[in-house]
Amino acid sequence: MSFDQKFLQERRARLAAERLLEQRQRELFAAHQKLDAYARSMGGLPLQVQAEGAGAAVARKQQDARFVMELERAHSAAVMAERRLWDSVETITDGFAIFDHDMGLVVANQAYLAAFTGQAQVRAGMTFAQVLQMATDQGLVDTGDETAEAWVARVLARWQQSSVPPEVIHLTSGRVVKLSDQRARDGNIVSLALDITEATEREAALKFAQTRAEAASRAKSAFLANMSHEIRTPMNGVVGMAELLCDSPLNDEQRLYADTIRSSGEALLLIINDLLDYSKIEAQKLSLRPEPFDLERCLHEVVILLQPSAQEKRVDLQIDFDIAMPTRFIGDPGRIRQVFTNLIGNAVKFTHRGHVTVRVIGLENMDGQQRFVITVEDSGIGIPKDQLDLIFDEFNQVENQANRKFEGTGLGLAITMRLVSLMNGQIWVDSVEGQGSSFGVRLTLPVAEVMEPLSAVPISLEDALVIDEQALSSAMLQRQLHSLGIKSVICRSGAEALAALETGRRFDVLLADQAPRDMTPEALAEQIRARGFDMPIVVMGGDTGDILLGDTAATAIKKPPLRSALFRSLQALSTSPVLQAPAIPAPSRQMRVLAAEDNRTNQLVFGKMIKELNIDLNFAANGLEAVELYQSFQPDLVFMDISMPEMDGRDATRAIRQIEAQMHLPHVPIVALTAHAMEGDAGDIMAAGLDHYMTKPLRKSALVEHIIAHRPAGTFAPLPPALHDDAADGANVAAQ
């Protein structure tokens, strides 16, 4: 029972006792009057009757006396209880008052009255409206932007509501009071005036602290963005020049120095990226940008990135993508690629021999949602059992003799776990020390494509000859072919494939690795045609599309082969098994490339990286020059630095797009070059009208890839034939 309810209960009990006492006294007085009247009418009562009446009168008086005493004791107890209750009310520091159903003040404690300059002015019987008016007249209340009349009317109107809302009042003395009023059952209003000054000051202090913390967080983000830009700009020169130096004639010692500079610079960039990502996670600023993307292509791009590192260690890096699962989903491709890169990169990093296999296995598909599991299995050094629970902690890297030589921030797996959690997924690890590890990720993503049944793909090929020296790669390819109803024979070399042809078995297609260990694809094609075999040839690795192997027409797909690309190639071959030589338009000019870059060192690095390309390259030192050269030079491709004086890359791009629209000119591809790498940078930059996004330091292979991809018809090939295959091998190296 609340305090005000107890008080009202005691008050009602005292009033009831007083009314009962008055009623008994009236009844006793009425009885005496009746008795006297009866005696007078009888001319006096007989002695016996008088005696009995006297006795009865004495008994009644005694009974009445006892009853009166009981009532007085009850009254005294009620008064005592009321006094104790009121003394308790007076001890509290908050104001307490009771108003009747007509809003008249019944009683108030000293704390309630102390708010007024003259306590005598506030007395019982005054209405609540008069109390409020007195407070405004004496200037006790800060009404803010309201007039005194409007403030009184608004505070008074609260009592007309079924549930009286609280009201916070700011006094001119600096105190803050909260009126908490409740209506009792008898219609009275119990009003509590709570002093919340200290709580308000604490809340204001917390808000101020929060504001300062948010300002500090923004300053931290700005510092990190600026630090990223300031570090990446000179690192572009360091790493770029080191890469160019590695491509020049060097002795063994010089090459060691150059490789050390390049690898150390790249390691520093990885550390910067991890710290930036972890900072965003810590500030809860990491967000997802869902969009339709190809999961299988995303996975293959990461594998192609890591393939050189795996090949240096002679580690087989393979993909096993569920043939019955769709490939296009809705999600954040950048963050999913980051998960792939962290898990697969770790596996390659800690594996000295054997294999790293990435498997994608589809589970149930319900209501347009595909549930699947990604596992990254390796035959590396493994993780001790007592360290498994710590592997996803921040700044943690398992410390033992086997992995002490590996460097890193220890943030990669912690970031991966946060990213997977952000995608509402799960991640786990199984490992045996000395035998290898298996990291698993379970995700559910909306499907962005209608999965066509494989049986509906019209492929009439029946037998395939496969040349691939990697056992896992050939096994996965064989399984894909088998799902299409194509039988296959696996050979480890060109000579083994020629021997298989001599057995007399008929093959409908030849799938050959780009670099068999015993002969080139051109030599293999020449040997096959010399023996009278005319089956179509598909080269796995290098460029894509129709190619020539000497005088032999062939088609090329990436390795590991993207499933959709493999299906399309086989589908085309099944309807036209003999390929014609590709029609190559006669070139008439060089491809024109414009690079807008204000930093002289970066201009030098850019020019040296693509010096062997057969292109017409022109530089602009700022955005204004870039717009002017766009109109006079008419480039086929523009590389646009974002941070430049006079006019930055965003404004220059907008100006170019405006000229295109006004003059009805074709859309020129523009690739952003930037040292910024914070959350939201890519979106802001792309919104200006750019087509692609590259962060510094630049990679030669990425530059060459963009130039080759955007070469218009009728221009000379950017690379001489001898260099084209080498560039194509690295064409999918992702731009940082």
Q: Could you tell me which residues come within 8 angstroms of residue 448 by beta carbon, excluding any fewer than 6 positions away?
A: 292, 293, 328, 329, 330
Residues in the chain: 736
pTM: 0.44
Q: Residue 233: which of 706, 700, 698, 701 has the closest Cα?
A: 698
Average pLDDT score over residue span 684-708: 81
Supply the pLDDT for residue 68: 67
How far is residue 21's CA from residue 33's CA, in Å, rounded to a whole number?
19
Average pLDDT score over residue span 676-697: 71
Strand-pair partners of 192: 96, 180
Q: Residue 13: which of 66, 82, 59, 63 has the closest Cα?
A: 82
How far is residue 622's CA from residue 614's CA, in Å, rounded to a whole number?
25
Alpha helix (H) residue ranges in 2-46: 3-41
Q: Residue 415: which of 477, 343, 319, 313 has the closest Cα?
A: 343
How far is residue 736's CA from residue 673's CA, in Å, rounded to a whole number?
10
Lowest-pLDDT choice from 43-52, 617-626, 686-695: 43-52
Q: Residue 681: which of 705, 650, 637 has the closest Cα?
A: 650
Best-predicted range by mean pLDDT (255-269, 370-384, 548-562):
370-384
Lowest-pLDDT choice from 139-153, 620-634, 676-690: 676-690
**Statement: residue 375 has pLDDT above 90:** yes
Average pLDDT score over residue span 658-677: 84
How far is residue 58's CA from residue 69's CA, in Å, rounded to a whole number?
16
**Domain positions in the chain:** 3-91, 95-195, 291-446, 454-575, 591-729
Phi-psi region of 44 (alpha: psi -120 to 50; beta: other; left: phi over 0): left
Share of the chain above pLDDT 90, in %: 12
pLDDT tens profile 117-139: 554 477 778 888 888 888 888 88
727: confidence class by pLDDT, cuts 50, 70, 90:
very low
Supply the pLDDT for residue 133: 85
Q: Could you tell me which residues come within 8 angstroms of residue 660 by beta carbon, excluding any fewer than 6 positions away?
A: 666, 667, 668
Q: At what angle do helices 700-709 and 600-609 cross, to 10 degrees?
A: 70
How far is residue 527's CA from residue 525's CA, in Å, rounded to a whole number?
5
Cis before 718 (ω within 30): no
Task: Supply the mean pLDDT for the chain.
Answer: 77
Mind giving me the DSSP string for 115-173? TSS-GGGS-TT-BHHHHHHHHHHTT-B--TTS-HHHHHHHHHHGGGSSSPPPEEEEBTT
Q: Decide: 142 and 172 in contact? Cβ < 8 Å.
A: yes
Supply the pLDDT for residue 56: 58
Average pLDDT score over residue span 243-255: 79
How far is residue 494's CA from residue 369's CA, in Å, rounded to a whole number?
44
Q: Decide: 592 and 634 in contact? Cβ < 8 Å.
A: yes
How far is residue 316's CA from residue 468's CA, in Å, rounded to a whole number?
12
Secondary structure letter of residue 55 according to DSSP: H
* Domain 95-195 in this protein, CATH class: alpha beta
Supply the pLDDT for residue 376: 94
Q: CATH 3.90.230.10: does it fit domain 591-729?
A: no
Per-residue b/e over 526-556, b at no fewer than 16 CB within 10 Å?
A: bbbeeeebebbbbbbbbbbeebebeebbbbb
CATH topology of domain 454-575: Rossmann fold (3.40.50)
Strands of 386-501, DSSP E:
426-432, 436-446, 463-467, 487-491
How far is residue 357's CA from residue 216's CA, in Å, rounded to a whole number?
44
Q: Could you tell me which residues come within 8 angstroms of residue 195 by beta carbon, excluding any fewer than 6 positions away?
A: 93, 94, 175, 176, 177
Supply the pLDDT for residue 669: 92
Q: Decide: 110 and 94 in contact? Cβ < 8 Å.
A: no
How far is residue 717's CA from residue 589's CA, in Å, rounded to a whole number?
10
Average pLDDT score over residue span 473-491: 81
Secondary structure letter of residue 305 according to DSSP: H
Q: Decide: 590 and 615 in contact? Cβ < 8 Å.
A: yes
pLDDT tens profile 144-163: 888 888 988 988 888 888 78
**Statement: residue 442 has pLDDT above 90:** yes
Which residue carries 């630095």 as its tokens?
641
Q: Could you tell me which residues come within 8 angstroms of residue 136 by beta carbon, excluding any fewer than 6 positions away?
A: 143, 148, 151, 152
* Domain 291-446 in this protein, CATH class: alpha beta
Q: Who wins on pLDDT, 374 or 470?
A: 374
Query: How many Cβ atoms sit within 10 Å of the Cβ of residue 383?
Result: 22
110: confidence class by pLDDT, cuts 50, 70, 90:
confident
**Statement: residue 186 has pLDDT above 70:** yes
Do 454-575 and 591-729 have matching folds?
A: yes
**Statement: residue 507 has pLDDT above 80:** yes
Average pLDDT score over residue span 37-59: 58
Q: Say which amino acid occupies 164.
A: V
Strands of 303-381, DSSP E:
315-321, 328-331, 354-366, 369-378
